[in-house]
Amino acid sequence: MSPLKKRVGLLLAISLGLVSALAAAQSSKVIEAIESRLSPVGSVCMAGEDCASAPVARASDEPRSGDEIYSSACASCHDSGVSGAPILGEADQWSDRIDKGTETLYDHAINGFNAMPAMGLCSDCSEDEMKATVDYMIEESS
């Protein structure tokens, strides 16, 4: 083999080694970036786990009004009628429900009914707050 071919071969081997090293270094940065994008943004705490007993932080221990809870938790469904939710203020949509009695409405709000989950969308509401919210909704829809 001629000296020129040996030098070209050597330069190719060195170049290939450098490109491989650069690719490997770049590959680890890409992998780190992908792992960072795929990392969890939070965690889930299930009932019965130690984290489930942690209190939910609230600005005040005072019970919230039905209007406050409606605005923060109920309006997302009851302003537009999502999944058949009766729209606040539409008496014709509420009359049959109201005729079943307040206790039934309380029960449905607290324990869930059809597409409505238990406690609506208010994970930190008390039963009394839910009752106040039902009272508010009845008043606004009668």
Q: Cα separation of 65 and 35, whole Å?
A: 44
Question: 1: which 2 tokens?
Answer: 């083999």
What's the pTM? Answer: 0.60
104 pLDDT more than 90: yes
Select the more confidently predicted residue: 3 or 25.
3
Q: Cα separation of 93 and 88, whole Å?
A: 9
79 alpha carbon, distance to own chain's centre: 20
Select the more confidently predicted residue: 25 or 40.
40
Bridge partners of residue 116, in order along the sequence: 113
pLDDT tens digit string along 64-101? 999 999 999 999 999 999 999 999 999 999 999 999 99
Contacts of 79 (CB under 8 A, 6+ apart): 87, 88
Place of tokens 């009004």: 65
